[in-house]
Amino acid sequence: MTKFKTWVSAARLRTLPLSIAGILVGTALARLEGHFSLSIFILALLTTLGLQVLSNFANDYGDGVKGTDNEDRIGPMRAIQSGIISHQEMKVGMILVSAFSLVMALLLIYTAFGSDKFLYSILFFLLGLASIAAAIKYTVGKSAYGYRGLGDVFVFIFFGLVGVLGSHFLYVHYFHFINLLPAVSIGLLSTAVLNLNNMRDQESDTKAQKNTLVVYMGAAKAKKYHYVLIILAFLGLVLFILHSKNYLLAVSLLGFIPLFIHLKTIAKNTSPVLLDPELKKVALSTFAIALLFLVLSLL
């Protein structure tokens, strides 16, 4: 594999649709209230994509340095693990993507709030810095939260609450409590992707002392946890649709059909290797739900 292809592989393009699901839903919520800005939408997408690539690079670097990516790991070979990209090169990649994400975030903040709403600008600037720090600290450093079973919490917060409610606020400059329901749904579905990843990697993570929530609770409880994440996500969207009385949005629930089929697969699964293709199903189903939600909000 060439170095360019290795960098593309390290960016993990298959994770990018999931990363923007929160932006799509937050934009849909704003659109339902009569607000939309193409420039905010594009900048929010670019900022989020930058943060996701940063997280992927940092994950590759952190697991590579700690030796977690080894012959026991299931799934595609990582960039540092392959030896094609060095630790130092990945560090430079992380710095460049961090800079890109920060510039996009600053442009987004200025576009959304201008020079008038200074406190909002400061709040979102700090949120941007926190997002960059969270992307890096998942596996990097001695206090990496991904090694202490806290990955699920951070994914839920940043992919769900921050992604949906934050992007909605950029358009409208206010908060609606009811919007917590779709935000929680996207957060739970995103957490389900991480949980599935950790179920796949349970054996190698245990050997490498990467104490994910799955390592703590064990395979049987991780399956039950997985069911709860997806079912509660479904109920959250159903409750929002019933409250909004915009029943056209119910079409987006079709995206849960492959997820419920996926749950049957999880129930029968006994081999971690077979979980790898399920990751794409959950991630793309979440993206499809969010995209349908946005499209339906425009009708």
pLDDT bucket at 75, cuts 50 / 70 / 90: low
Please give the Cα distance from 24 to 48 (Å, whole number).
11
What angle (nearest 5°) sits at the alpha carbon of residue 122, between those of residues 33 and 174?
A: 20
Choose among 68, 55, 81, 79: nearest CA to 201: 68
Contact in structure between 47 and 53 (CB atoms under 8 Å): no
Which tens digit of pLDDT belongs to each residue from 6-28? 999 999 998 999 999 999 999 99
Which tens digit of pLDDT belongs to each residue from 98-152? 999 999 999 999 999 998 899 999 999 999 999 999 999 998 988 899 999 999 9
The alpha carbons of the chain give a radius of gyration, in whole angstroms, of 19
Contact in structure between 274 and 201 (CB atoms under 8 Å): no
- Span 161-170, mean pLDDT? 98
Question: Where in the chain are the domains?
Answer: 14-297
- C-beta neighbour count of 262 within 10 angstroms: 19
Residue type, position 251, single letter:
V
Which tens digit of pLDDT belongs to each residue from 182-237? 999 999 999 999 999 999 999 988 988 899 999 999 999 999 999 999 999 999 99
